Amino acid sequence: MQQPDHQPISPDAKRPVVGLAEKPLAGIRVIELGQNIAGPYAGEILASLGAQVIKVERPETGDDARGWGPPFLNGVATTFEAMNHGKQSVTVDLQSEHGIAWLHRLIACSDVFLHNMRPGSLDTMGLGAEVLCARYPKLIYCELGAFGHHGPMHLRPGYE
């Protein structure tokens, strides 16, 4: 498995300047914790509309979809490439306090937090909707669940 190809990203980095001929979401920063298809595809749509999308991946392996092939292009599955072009990528260890603190700094200067992790899985890390929306009142929190947010199956993991 190829290591994720990450560009340096700083929470203190300036946002892109919005000009007259920019795309509709130019100047919007999105933090994406997307895996496989649904989350990354939502992020890809936002990136194609001009948002700066920063994809957060786990150390060592990154998004599982990197290995979903063949076909591969330069060692990375083309499915992954199709769902993630136009994004920046950063590795963050969400199992460490340092990684969580760094991600909070990045979220603090962002407009949207997007994820398709299992419902409730980010709550224990202090990254659930209740915590982030209270801490960052202007943040748009988007959670994509495989089975919705209510009902008997809403906590089950699943693919798109």
Domain of residue 41, CATH code:
3.40.50.10540
Question: Is 70 a domain residue?
Answer: yes
Question: Is 149 a domain residue?
Answer: no
Torsion angle in degrees (nearest 10) through CA of 98, 57, 67, 156: 100
Q: How many domains does the chain have?
A: 1
Return the number of other C-beta atoms located less than 10 Å from residue 55's C-beta.
28
The answer to whether 82 and 43 have CB atoms below 8 angstroms apart is no
Q: For the segment 109-152, what is each residue's pLDDT rounded down to a tens digit?
A: 999 999 998 888 899 999 999 999 999 999 999 999 888 778 88
* Residue with token string 């409730």: 120
Question: Is 80 a domain residue?
Answer: yes
Whole domain around residue 51: which residue ranges?
A: 29-85+107-143
Average pLDDT of the residues in 48-69: 92
Record the pTM.
Answer: 0.83
Residue 9 C-alpha from the chain's centroid:
14
